[in-house]
């Protein structure tokens, strides 16, 4: 027993030393990483059409025998040829009607196939995903044409006004280039999420997705009575009457609270004007109450344009277009992986907690 106790103490000492060394290395790496930040990343592209073809091929191989597969292949080849022929005929007709080209010119027409670029935005309270989306949009705008389309699969219960304002501005870049923008909502696009969604030319919502919450909220605890009870003084020094209105630790005067409410109202007006600009058909005073609607009710209130899931929309798009999922990922050096692992873990946990708490305000039923 004495041997086991000593062995256990030895293991604890060894573990303590190892942990200490790791923390020192992580600290050095963090400092070094801050001096030479590495923000390089890379774009990945996945063609959705190929995924669908693979799914179909796997199922056909398991559902049909060899003779049936040969017949399917023949029928598919015939269908593809007829489709290409029809597309060329349409392109020729369009060119002839638009430019008055002769028959010789029409024969040289090339069919330009539409491309759909798909982005994912899963928003936390800080709209952190905007850091990736800005790079994805920059990449897409180097290639996208006006006959193409960008689809954003958006999920967010909202968060900080300035963060979602920036995320909305990233989507505006697509509109400014004259490229059609569609937003698909499968679960929730509320508050800041809807601030982003309303920019789109078309909003597609799942029937039970939660949409809306055109309102502004701010809440904070106040510990002034607790501090006073324990004889703890709190002093705050500012230059400028409204540098700080309400505080968590001191007494909040009626004037400070009124100013804070006034600021919230001004933000709400900006939010309503933003939504009205992009969806002028809305009765903004009816929907800008902070309430939310399920997709089917949101359609009746003109908050969205059609019902359906992002899967429905993209699978249908594959019939006539090449559909590409585009995503951006940061490269991380060893220093960053070691130095910021703990920091990022704590920060993500805190952000996740706040995001979940925020989402609770948009949960129906």
User: What are the catalytic residues?
Assistant: 191, 243
- How many CB atoms sit inside 10 A of residue 341's CB? 14
**Nearest residue to 203 (alpha-carbon basis) of 156, 153, 269:** 153
Tokens standing for 323? Answer: 């559909």
Say how far apart CA 182 and CA 52 lie, in whole Å: 21
CB 139 within 8 A of CB 326: yes
- 110 DSSP 8-state letter: P
Q: At what angle do helices 254-278 and 161-176 cross, to 10 degrees?
A: 20
Read off the tokens for 9: 């103490």
Q: Residues 91, 95, 96, 100: what is their CA dihedral angle, to the nearest 10 degrees?
A: 180
Backbone torsions φ then ψ of 182, nearest 5 degrees = -120, 135
CA distance 145 to 323: 14
Q: How far is CA 178 from CA 6, 150, 151, 168, in A?
A: 74, 11, 14, 16
- The residue written with tokens 């000492």 in the block is 13
Reading the block at residue 170, the tokens are 């990233």
Residue 183, SS3 per DSSP:
strand
């Amino acid at each position: 027993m004495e041997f086991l106790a000593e062995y256990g103490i030895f293991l604890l000492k060894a573990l303590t030393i190892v942990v200490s060394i790791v923390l020192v290395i992580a600290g050095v790496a963090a400092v070094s990483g801050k001096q030479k930040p590495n923000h390089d990343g890379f774009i990945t592209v996945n063609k959705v059409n190929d995924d669908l073809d693979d799914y179909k091929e796997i199922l056909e191989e398991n559902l049909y025998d060899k003779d049936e597969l040969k017949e399917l292949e023949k029928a598919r080849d015939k269908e593809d040829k007829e489709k290409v022929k029809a597309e060329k005929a349409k392109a020729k007709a369009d060119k002839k009607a638009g430019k008055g080209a002769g028959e010789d010119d029409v024969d040289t027409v090339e069919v330009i196939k539409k491309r759909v670029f798909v982005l994912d935005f899963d928003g936390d309270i800080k709209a952190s995903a905007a850091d990736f989306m800005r790079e994805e949009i920059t990449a897409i705008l180097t290639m996208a044409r006006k006959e193409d389309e960008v689809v954003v699969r958006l999920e967010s219960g909202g968060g900080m006004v300035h963060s979602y304002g920036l995320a909305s501005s990233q989507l505006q870049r697509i509109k400014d280039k004259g490229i059609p923008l569609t937003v698909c909502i499968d679960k929730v696009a509320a508050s800041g999420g809807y601030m982003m969604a309303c920019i789109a030319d078309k909003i597609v919502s799942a029937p039970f997705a939660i949409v809306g919450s055109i309102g502004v909220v701010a809440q904070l605890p106040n510990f002034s009575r607790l501090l006073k009870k324990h004889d703890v003084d709190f002093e705050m020094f500012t230059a400028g009457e409204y540098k700080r209105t309400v505080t968590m630790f001191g007494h909040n005067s009626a004037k400070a609270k009124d100013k804070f409410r006034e600021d919230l109202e001004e933000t709400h007006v900006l939010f309503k004007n933003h939504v009205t600009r992009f969806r002028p058909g809305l009765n903004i005073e009816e929907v800008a109450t902070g309430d939310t609607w399920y997709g089917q009710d949101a359609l009746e209130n003109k908050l969205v344009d059609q019902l359906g899931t992002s899967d429905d929309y993209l699978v249908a798009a594959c019939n006539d277009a090449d559909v590409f999922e585009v995503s951006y990922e940061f490269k991380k050096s060893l220093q960053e992986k070691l130095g910021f692992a703990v920091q990022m873990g704590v920060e993500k946990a805190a952000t996740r907690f706040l995001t979940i708490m925020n989402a609770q305000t948009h949960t129906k039923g």
